[in-house]
Amino acid sequence: MSKAPVLNIHIDGAARGNPGAAAYAYVICRDGAPALEEAGCLGNATNNVAEYTALLKALQRAAQLGGKRLQIHSDSELLVKQMNGEYRVKNEQLKDLFAEAKELCRQFDLVTIRHVPRAQNSNADRLCNEVLDGACPPGTPAREAKSAPPKHRLSAREEMVRAEVLHCLQSAAQAWSHGDPRDPKPEQVWEQLWSIMEENNMLRR
């Protein structure tokens, strides 16, 4: 059985003022498919918070894609060495982000995080700066950074369940589009979704 393909991911976070107007970005490269890019404004935050946010967003997206093996590139020496156990996490704000990142990493077969020079992280860096130049002018509070209302931030467990549910639905949709629309039966898909939710205590009775 062949190994799952490796997703190559570049992440970056930036803050102008530190703390100041901040943004995150990631680029996910997949064999035979266009690169996936995302960037967003965080309002006022530190550079390190922005870097960790980029990591969390990338891990969540990789899970949604069904990725199993990740190679993550970051130009933040602090983040890389903390995630690899070379540095302790002393900042209280970063401790929560670090713990969430570690929890998300557990759902993959392999996660490698390596440090690269900024020149080798240029696409993610460019996306961050484009967001800061446009959507995040200096002094913009977090609540004004996006036009849409803020979404509930899912916990690591909720993200894992969401990824499982999406994978189940995507598999069923793919099977239906290439064969008998009754195989798998809708009832079977429903039972599988129910089982995922029930096993993870996501059902309120």
Q: Which of 168, 140, 114, 116 is nearest to 42 (CA)?
A: 140
Q: What is the per-residue pLDDT across 86-109, written as a single tens digit (0 to 9) for each?
A: 999 999 999 999 999 999 999 999
Segments of the chain scoring below 50 in pLDDT: 137-151
How far apart CA 138 and CA 119 sit, in angstroms, is 25
Q: Do residues 163 and 120 share a domain?
A: no
Within-domain flag for 130: yes
Q: Do residues 54 and 75 share a domain?
A: yes
Q: What pLDDT is attached to residue 152?
A: 54
Q: Do residues 102 and 183 share a domain?
A: no
How far apart CA 95 and CA 60 sit, in angstroms, is 18
Q: Do residues 61 and 137 share a domain?
A: yes
Q: Do residues 99 and 178 share a domain?
A: no
Q: Do residues 123 and 182 share a domain?
A: no
Q: Do residues 135 and 186 share a domain?
A: no
Q: Do residues 140 and 170 share a domain?
A: no
Q: Do residues 137 and 166 share a domain?
A: no
| Domain hosting residue 87, numbered range | 6-145
Which CATH number covers residue 96? 3.30.420.10
Within-domain flag for 170: yes
* Pair of tokens at residue 183: 């195989």
Within-domain flag for 107: yes
Q: What pLDDT is attached to residue 134?
A: 83
The DSSP string of the chain is -PPPPEEEEEEEEEEETTTEEEEEEEEEEETTEEEEEEEEEEEEE-HHHHHHHHHHHHHHHHHHTT--EEEEEES-HHHHHHHTTSS----HHHHHHHHHHHHHHTTSSEEEEEE--GGGGHHHHHHHHHHHHHT--TT--GGGS-SSPPPPPPPHHHHHHHHHHHHHHHHHHHHHHHS-TTSS-HHHHHHHHHHHHHHTT----
Q: Do residues 114 and 189 share a domain?
A: no
- Total number of domains constituting the chain: 2
* Pair of tokens at residue 120: 């080798």
Q: Do residues 95 and 165 share a domain?
A: no
Q: Do residues 31 and 132 share a domain?
A: yes
How far apart CA 52 and CA 70 sit, in angstroms, is 16
Within-domain flag for 152: no
